[in-house]
């Protein structure tokens, strides 16, 4: 038995693959385009693991996807592959439409074609798990109730709109074709292997280097924060117990505004790597706000807790301290990402294993 994971060298995808293989002998076929955010070095510990097959490729390449499905006969597809950085979507929305909308369509069609060749229990048990974001719901005011699975979509960035489009496709493939797909919409993830353009790793690394800590606007934009290991456990639960056609919101029940996050990170960095110049609070620098910056996200994850038997386990302050400790102890990974050397990592380290596997 095996599962096909798309985007499994990215931040959340690689954490999921590592987590999956730590708990299961079920093989993972990992299809990743290995663009700037897909880092094969995240999977270094699996370089000689015969249960992991890393394949460089694009979900828009339907022939490649079809060949992988026919060759490996997976019992499920877990779809992470996406462009995900809001700022990049503002600068260049085309890539987001191509990967998130056209790519998801292509993957759905190939997976549906494969599913139609299955029979009996194998067909009945097949699942397509689409991993999405709470940003599809838009923005909340301070006193609004949290997003639920019935909240109307109201995306405000090209990224959020492209993910909303992909969510609609997944829903339609279930309702039109009976295709056994389900969707999870998660809040902001953090933890190991996160590319340092996102808030938490950017602040950690800038703080360590005594560089300015840029905070958008007034710093009072609120997000719900979810440790990536809690997200991975939710995805395993959704795959095992989720019902086709359903949507499950996955959150950490940890709403914080950006200033609170930055202050918490500074405290954790100062505690683990004190600065001779004193507290790094002095490095906070307010910068011009991002266009269309959503004010608040909050996630009601009670449906996932009730129906999947899942609950986030990581207290936010502990999660921040653990994340700071991870970046401090993985300086080589950080240096590779910052220098761009990680883009050559697969040629140096992974090709022999992949050739050996296949």
Dihedral sign for Cα atoms in the order 94, 98, 194, 37: negative
pTM here is: 0.93
Of the listed 134, 224, 246, 305, which one is catalytic? Answer: 134
Q: Which of 79, 73, 100 is nearest to 89 (CA)?
A: 100
DSSP string for residues in 59-75: TT-HHHHHHHHHHH--S
% pLDDT > 90, the chain: 87
Q: What average pLDDT does range 253-278 have in this prediction?
A: 97
Q: Which of 256, 244, 336 is nearest to 297 (CA)?
A: 256
Instruction: Identify the band that residue 351 occupies on the pLDDT scale cut at 50, 70 and 90.
Output: very low
Q: What average pLDDT does range 182-206 have in this prediction?
A: 94
Q: Which of 7, 55, 70 is nearest to 358 (CA)?
A: 55
Q: Per residue in 43-99, pLDDT tens?
A: 999 999 999 999 999 999 999 999 999 999 999 999 999 988 788 888 899 999 999
Instruction: Check residue 348 and give its pLDDT.
Output: 63
Please confirm, yes or no, whether 159 is among the known catalytic residues. yes
Instruction: Check residue 357 and give its pLDDT.
Output: 35
Of the listed 135, 167, 230, 246, which one is catalytic? Answer: 135
pLDDT for 358 beyond 60: no
Q: Which of 125, 90, 152 is nearest to 291 (CA)?
A: 90
Q: Per residue in 303-320, pLDDT tens?
A: 999 999 999 999 999 999
The average confidence (pLDDT) of the chain is: 93
First to last CA, the chain: 16
Of 33-37, 101-105, 162-166, 340-344, where does mean pLDDT reach its minimum?
340-344
Q: What is the DSSP letter of 246?
A: -
Q: What average pLDDT does range 96-104 have in this prediction?
A: 97
Instruction: Identify the band that residue 356 occupies on the pLDDT scale cut at 50, 70 and 90.
Output: very low
Q: Give the span between the Cα atoms of 269 and 275, in whole angstroms.
A: 9
pLDDT for 278 beyond 80: yes
Q: What average pLDDT does range 259-265 have in this prediction?
A: 97
Of the listed 137, 159, 248, 350, which one is catalytic? Answer: 159
Q: Give the span between the Cα atoms of 111 and 125, in whole angstroms.
A: 14
Helix (H) or strand (E) segment spanning residue 27? strand 27-32
Q: Give the span between the Cα atoms of 6 and 27, in whole angstroms.
A: 14
Instruction: Check residue 338 and give its pLDDT.
Output: 86
Residue 288, exposed/middle/buried by CB under 10 A (0-12, 13-18, 19+)? exposed
pLDDT for 345 beyond 70: no
**134: helix, strand or coil:** helix
- Phi/psi of residue 296, nearest 5 degrees: -150, 140
Instruction: Check residue 264 and give its pLDDT.
Output: 97
Please confirm, yes or no, whether 300 is among the known catalytic residues. no
Q: What is the DSSP letter of 98?
A: I
- Where are the chain's structural domains? 2-352
Q: What average pLDDT does range 252-276 have in this prediction?
A: 97
Please confirm, yes or no, whether 190 is among the known catalytic residues. no
- What CATH class is the domain 2-352? alpha beta
Q: Per residue in 21-46, pLDDT tens?
A: 999 999 999 999 998 778 999 999 99
pLDDT for 161 beyond 70: yes
Please check whether residue 334 is in contact with residue 327, taking contact to mean a CB–CB distance below 8 angstroms.
yes
pLDDT for 352 beyond 70: no
Q: What is the DSSP letter of 46?
A: G
Q: Per residue in 200-252, pLDDT tens?
A: 999 999 999 999 999 999 999 999 999 999 999 999 999 999 999 999 999 99
Please check whether residue 91 is in contact with residue 145, taking contact to mean a CB–CB distance below 8 angstroms.
no
Tell me the CA distances in angstroms from 108 to 67, 113, 114, 205, 310, one per residue in order: 14, 8, 10, 38, 27
Q: What average pLDDT does range 341-353 have in this prediction?
A: 56
């Amino acid at each position: 038995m095996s599962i096909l994971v798309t985007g499994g060298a990215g931040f959340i995808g690689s954490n999921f693959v590592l987590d999956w293989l730590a708990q299961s002998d079920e093989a993972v076929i990992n299809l990743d385009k290995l663009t700037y955010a897909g880092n094969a070095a995240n999977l270094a510990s699996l370089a000689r693991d015969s249960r992991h097959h890393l394949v460089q490729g694009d979900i828009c390449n339907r022939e490649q996807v079809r060949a992988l499905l026919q060759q490996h006969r997976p019992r499920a597809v877990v779809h992470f592959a996406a462009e995900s950085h809001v700022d990049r979507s503002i600068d260049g929305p085309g890539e987001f439409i191509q990967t998130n909308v056209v790519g998801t369509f292509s993957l759905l069609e190939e997976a549906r074609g494969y599913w139609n060749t299955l029979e009996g229990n194998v067909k009945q048990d097949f699942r397509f798990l689409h991993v999405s974001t709470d940003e599809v719901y838009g923005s909340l005011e301070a006193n609004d109730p949290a997003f639920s699975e019935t909240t109307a979509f109201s995306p405000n960035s090209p990224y959020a709109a492209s993910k909303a489009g992909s969510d609609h496709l997944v829903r339609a493939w279930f309702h039109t074709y009976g295709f056994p797909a389900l969707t999870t919409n998660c809040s902001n993830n953090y933890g190991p292997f996160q590319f340092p353009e996102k808030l938490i790793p950017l602040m950690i690394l800038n703080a360590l280097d005594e560089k300015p800590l840029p905070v958008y606007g007034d710093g009072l934009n609120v997000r719900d924060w979810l440790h990536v290991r809690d997200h991975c456990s939710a995805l395993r639960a959704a795959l095992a117990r989720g019902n086709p056609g359903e949507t499950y919101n996955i959150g950490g029940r940890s709403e914080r505004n950006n200033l609170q996050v930055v202050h918490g990170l500074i405290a954790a960095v100062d505690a683990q790597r004190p600065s001779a110049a004193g507290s790094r609070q002095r490095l906070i620098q307010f910068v011009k706000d991002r266009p269309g910056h959503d004010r608040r996200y909050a996630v009601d994850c009670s449906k996932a807790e009730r129906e999947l038997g899942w609950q986030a386990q990581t207290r936010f302050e502990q999660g921040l301290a653990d994340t700071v400790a991870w970046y401090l102890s993985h300086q080589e990974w950080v240096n590779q990402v910052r220098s761009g050397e990680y883009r050559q990592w697969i040629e140096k380290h992974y090709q022999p294993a992949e050739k050996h596997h296949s």
